[in-house]
Amino acid sequence: MVIKPMIRNNICMNAHPDGCAAYVAREVAYVRSRGKISNGPKRVLVIGSSTGYGLSSRITAAFGCDAGTIGVAFEREGSEKRTGTAGYYNTLAFEAEAKSAGLVAESINGDAFSHAMKEEVVGRIKKLFGQVDLVVYSLASAVRTDPDTGEMYRSVLKPTGKGYTTKSIDPMTGEVKEVTAEAASEEEIRHTVKVMGGEDWDLWMKSLLSAGVLAQGAVTVAYSYIGPDLMASIYRAGTIGKAKEDLEEKAIRLTDTLKAVGGKAYVSVNKALVTRSSAVIPAVPLYLALLFKVMKEKNVHEDCIQQIYRLFSERLYAGGQVPVDDKGRIRIDDWEFRSDVQSEISRLWPEASTGNIGSIGDLEKYRTDFLQMHGFGFDSVDYEKDVQP
């Protein structure tokens, strides 16, 4: 079939296999251009490995550290009538790139929240590596089933305490308007923490530790975001912020747990980037359009792969003590939160309108990133060609 992007309510419903391969190849090329990371991990497990920061972590480990990798993700395969998800095609492309470079790369598709998946991964680690040096937790899901009770939890992206009205933008049309989000209920907050907090990360690490598959000195890192003050109500003070607080608390407890193998747990606070969910969170698309413009002008803009390569090379495996903030978090969002960057965004925010967003923001960069993470918008890909999905 000829595959063109199908976008509904700012969500892309399909993906292009050739474009996803181009996306992966570009990230691999970047890592190769930067060279090898000294003292990097050699046996890596990435939980949530198929898109975004998880995919970039797997690529950086493989091509920056010559690591064998196991990836865990829950993606839909393609069929004769329907494309697979971008993550499905990304995983195929990554495996092809890694194996052509002589690297071990195996992927397991299924529910990472389940006990069965944890058991399967333990078995795969024993077979392939014996133990792992690094565990990356980059799982993003709207739904989680508790593996013990069978109860299903659904996360929401809402403010807490009271409703929130702010500016936002429709990234596909460029229309800037006010939007209102209702406050979350206590039940919704609890559900969001259950899905997006640190409980599953904790279960994963304890399962790996008890099975004896964590190497001496093993490191685990999970990804978080703080966000600027102007988005605090919907983000850090919202339901997702409650979940991130839980994740960060788990890191402290996990470090105590991992003392048994001399290990360490970190939360890395990463830069704001386009994701599948960001297009539907009030204020976030507008903030990103302004952020991209300002950071590019100051020559400090980074995409996923640049962020993760810097995390590995300048934080986790730079030698010596890993630099953290007063709450024990790695801050790889440091360039986003430079005072000159944030002060400029704060100046531009009240001025932003449908008429001027094209000049004061970089909405084109937002759209390009949105399309390319689904395999569309690459000059090297013939989108008129028949493709087997």
CATH number for the domain harbouring residue 138: 3.40.50.720
User: Which residues are designated catalytic?
Assistant: 235
Q: Is residue 10 part of a domain?
A: no
**Range of the structural domain that residue 320 is part of:** 18-372
Q: Is residue 224 part of a domain?
A: yes
Classify residue 283 as left (phi > 0), alpha (psi -120 to 50) or beta. Answer: left
Q: Is the dihedral of CA 93, 99, 103, 108 positive or negative?
A: positive
The answer on pLDDT for 273 being more than 90 is yes
State how far the Cα of 379 lies from the Cα of 362, in Å rounded to an integer.
19
pLDDT band at 277 (very low <50, low <70, confident <90, very high): confident
pLDDT band at 94 (very low <50, low <70, confident <90, very high): very high
Q: Is residue 218 part of a domain?
A: yes
Instruction: Give the pLDDT of residue 112.
Output: 97
Which CA distances in Å does 64 have to 54, 132, 308? 15, 17, 11
Confirm if 386 and 2 have CB atoms less than 8 A apart. yes
Q: Is residue 245 part of a domain?
A: yes
What's the whole-model pTM score?
0.97
Q: Is residue 387 part of a domain?
A: no
Summary mean pLDDT of the chain: 95
Count of domains in the chain? 1
Q: Is residue 192 part of a domain?
A: yes
